[in-house]
Amino acid sequence: MTPETTWSRSRWAGCPAASLAVMLFAGGCAHHAQQPGTPMPGEAGGASEYRHSAAVTRLALGRPAVHASEFGFTKVAGAQGVFAVDDVTGAAWGVMNADAPALKVPAFSNVAGEHTEIAMRYFLEAGLPKDQVGGAHVTTLMRGGGAKAAGASGMQVQFVGYSTVLERVVAGVPVADSFAWASFNQKKETTAEAVYWPAITAAVVADARELWAKLSDPEREKAFRASLKVQGLGDSPGKVVIRHSNATDRGRFVAFASYDVLVTPPPGKGRGRILHFDSRGEERFLAPAPVASKRAPRSEKD
């Protein structure tokens, strides 16, 4: 087991672009005041946070640019799009209107590596800490429509563009809930982007390094798994990561070192889920946990 390994996932934070547009203009989901596109100092041994800002965005928002503070967001809204920062969490979101000219410009490249290179350069030049970037992956947007040919059934599929997602790593351990992603057109404008990169305390970083070192030994990992008070883990592999509150959680910020296990039930028995266990073997939740007194043990049938 290596600390750099984590599950690949899109960092759209559960919100498609259309939903983001509604959220930013009308208010909605969104721990600190905005800073201008630079890493904010963190304690020694911890990981500093990065705040993306309107001062560094490449969104072609259009004129006039209206600055506003409402619904818990600090926003810059132009004729073509909006950039907003959550006043509580510091998460930043940028989207274009559906009819924005920037969206009519072809994608920057149909080569994933080239798109990743420009996205990496964009965020690093903006101030995102280079030593906290452990890699990147892309998600692909395709569009379909129309028949393949006269009289034929099926859809034509057209490449629209990539989004490059930077993966955060601290002390060699993935930070599973942080993200920085962007999509670019041929003018090197971003057509959508989002960043959530909060500070991680030295205590959490130290705990994560200790947990990874401990569970790198197969025998100690086996003993740790056996101590977990949860049924149904089976042979699902585990990974050491740092978990933290998500970008839309305005409650008390939580971060902890976690042993994550992806549990996949038999076909037809429900969806897979990721379970989180801290260094003591206690199950942890990023959302409020079920009432303990009424909670039945998990099983393969759950």
Confidence check: pLDDT of 2 > 80: no
Per-residue pLDDT tens for 193-208? 999 999 999 999 999 9
Instruction: Name the more confident of 238 and 265.
Output: 238
- What is the average pLDDT across 107-111? 95
Quick one: 252 and 116 in the same domain? no
Quick one: 168 and 225 in the same domain? no
| 47 contacts 204 by C-beta, under 8 angstroms | no
Confidence check: pLDDT of 296 > 50: no
Q: How many domains does the chain have?
A: 2
Domain end among 196, 214, 232:
196
Distance CA(87)–CA(70), nearest Å, equals: 10
State the pLDDT at residue 36: 41
Quick one: 175 and 230 in the same domain? no
Domain end among 145, 170, 196:
196
| 140 contacts 109 by C-beta, under 8 angstroms | no
State the pLDDT at residue 230: 83
| 235 contacts 222 by C-beta, under 8 angstroms | no
Per-residue pLDDT tens for 229-246? 887 787 888 999 999 999
Quick one: 235 and 189 in the same domain? no
Average pLDDT value over all residues in the chain: 83
Owning domain of residue 159? 17-196
Residue 243 lies in a domain: yes
Residue 279 lies in a domain: yes
| 93 contacts 83 by C-beta, under 8 angstroms | yes
Quick one: 171 and 232 in the same domain? no
| 222 contacts 215 by C-beta, under 8 angstroms | no
Quick one: 24 and 131 in the same domain? yes
- What is the average pLDDT across 246-263? 94
Confidence check: pLDDT of 3 > 70: no
Give the pairing type, strands 238-244 and 173-174: unpaired
Quick one: 178 and 242 in the same domain? no
| 241 contacts 175 by C-beta, under 8 angstroms | yes
**pLDDT classification of 267: cutoffs 50, 70, 90:** confident
Quick one: 165 and 213 in the same domain? no
**pLDDT classification of 55: cutoffs 50, 70, 90:** very high
- What is the average pLDDT across 243-250? 94
**Which residue stretches of the chain are H helix?**
17-26, 112-126, 202-215, 218-227
Nearby residues of 151 by Cβ (< 8 Å), 6 or more positions away: none
Domain end among 130, 164, 196:
196
State the pLDDT at residue 157: 86
Confidence check: pLDDT of 76 > 90: yes
pTM of the model: 0.79
Confidence check: pLDDT of 286 > 70: yes
Quick one: 32 and 104 in the same domain? yes
Per-residue pLDDT tens for 122-167? 999 999 999 999 999 999 999 886 555 555 556 788 899 999 999 9
State the pLDDT at residue 300: 41
Residue 300 lies in a domain: no
**pLDDT classification of 175: cutoffs 50, 70, 90:** very high
Of the candidates 257, 291, 296, the residue with the CA atom closest to the CA atom of residue 277: 257
Q: Residue 296 gets which letter from DSSP? A: P
Confidence check: pLDDT of 73 > 90: yes
Quick one: 189 and 207 in the same domain? no
Quick one: 110 and 252 in the same domain? no
CA within 13 Å, CB half, 154 = 7
Q: Residue 100 gets which letter from DSSP? A: -
Quick one: 97 and 246 in the same domain? no
Per-residue pLDDT tens for 4-39? 333 333 333 334 343 444 344 433 333 333 344 555
- What is the average pLDDT across 169-189? 97
